[in-house]
Copies of this chain bind each other. A is one copy, B any other.
Amino acid sequence: VHPTLAGKKGPEVEPIEVDRVVALRPDAVFLATPNELSASLARPLVDAGIAVVDLSGAFRLKDRDAYPRWYGFHHPHPELLRKAVYGLTEWCPKLRDAGLVANPGCYPTSVLLALRPLERRLLAGAPVICDSKSGVSGAGKRSDLAFSFCELAGNFKAYGVGVHRHEPEMRAELGFPADAPFVFVPHLLPVVRGILSTIHVTFTRPLEAPELLELYETAYGGSPFVHVLPPPELPDLASVVGTPRAEIGFALLQGGRQGVIVSAIDNLLKGAASQAIQNFNRVFGLEETEGLEWN
């Protein structure tokens, strides 16, 4: 499937039943399976004491009632929703020895990394606007006319406004109630990889650039995979695609009352695979950079 990852002979890949995985007694299992399948597979693995890092949406929401609406199925193991820790690595204090990690969605990763350091500075009631743009790989490998080359090359559009399943995930993690003016508009970029979110916020009082920079530096100074850019630098996709890191920059407008935060990640790495490895490392007390070391 991914020939560039293969060596001369390619790896041996074979189908496997969950019972056999349990019998093998691995320390951990990464699930990169469809939402509903992950929801089922995790139970026997967790029961066997195997640490599970799940890359689907099966354990990202705490509210079992949200699953039918946003994911289209009744959760078969709602009791696991409380047990699962939400693995936004830099903001998850409970990863050590966690039995079940819900790896965040790609959009939420890009948005939450930008917003979490600001939470006490956001003017209550003012809209928080997340205008996000994603590469096409976010949709997975699909035989679908809507994702064909001829439809997307040279094109650009917004989609899923108000109905994207990453929105309740972000609201829940940010503690925003359903009636808070939190706006998430995803767009489809004609690129393969990467997410760039442009986030518009209103502050409780005018901020100056050094103050805001310090907020971000305090949050991420010790994080190997979140790079904060001093203004007027702003991230672009080319600086993060192919890497496990997020880049965050910002601009202040209206005398410092309005903020524009720009956050960029590789949706397949920090938005999925490399964050899963960060989480694995943290579960087992390893260095967060283990296996991701070039950075």
- Of A20-28, A58-66, A111-119, A231-239, the one contacting chain B is A231-239
If A145-B142, A237-B155 touch, whether A129 touches B190 (CB-CB below 8 Å) is no
> Are B133 and A156 within 8 A (Cβ)?
yes
> Are B131 and A200 within 8 A (Cβ)?
yes
> Are B141 and A143 within 8 A (Cβ)?
no
> Are B162 and A253 within 8 A (Cβ)?
yes
> Are B129 and A200 within 8 A (Cβ)?
yes
Residues of B within 8 A of A161 (CB): 232, 234, 251, 253, 260
> Are B149 and A144 within 8 A (Cβ)?
no
> Are B143 and A144 within 8 A (Cβ)?
yes
If A156-B236, A198-B187 touch, whether A4 touches B242 (CB-CB below 8 Å) is yes
Residues of B within 8 A of A224 (CB): 8
71-89 of chain A: CB within 8 A of chain B: none
A170 shortest CB reach to chain B, Å: 14
Residues of B within 8 A of A149 (CB): 136, 147-149, 151-153, 190, 192
Count A-side interface residues using an 8 Å CB cutoff. Answer: 70
Among A126, A148, A257, find the residue whose CB has the most chain B CB atoms closer than 10 A.
A148
- Please, how many angstroms separate the alpha-carbon atoms of A183 and B198 in the complex? 12
> Are B198 and A158 within 8 A (Cβ)?
yes
> Are B133 and A192 within 8 A (Cβ)?
no
> Are B151 and A143 within 8 A (Cβ)?
no
- Give A184's nearest chain B residue, CB to CB: B253
135-177 of chain A: CB within 8 A of chain B: 136-137, 141-145, 147-159, 161-162
* Partner among B3, B148, B196 whose Cβ is within 8 Å of the Cβ of A148: B148
- Please, how many angstroms separate the alpha-carbon atoms of A194 and B150 in the complex? 12
* Partner among B4, B155, B193 whose Cβ is within 8 Å of the Cβ of A243: B4
181-203 of chain A: CB within 8 A of chain B: 181, 183, 185, 187, 189-194, 196, 198, 200, 202
Residues of B within 8 A of A257 (CB): 181
> Are B238 and A154 within 8 A (Cβ)?
yes
> Are B192 and A154 within 8 A (Cβ)?
yes
- Please, how many angstroms separate the alpha-carbon atoms of A255 and B180 in the complex? 11
Residues of B within 8 A of A35 (CB): none
241-284 of chain A: CB within 8 A of chain B: 241-243, 245, 251, 253-255, 257-258, 260, 262
- Please, how many angstroms separate the alpha-carbon atoms of A147 and B198 in the complex? 21
* Partner among B150, B154, B158, B196 whose Cβ is within 8 Å of the Cβ of A234: B158
If A127-B258, A200-B129, A258-B127 touch, whether A237 touches B144 (CB-CB below 8 Å) is no
Among A154, A156, A187, A190, find the residue whose CB has the most chain B CB atoms closer than 10 A.
A156
> Are A239 and B200 within 8 A (Cβ)?
no
A262 shortest CB reach to chain B, Å: 5
Residues of B within 8 A of A260 (CB): 158, 161, 183, 185
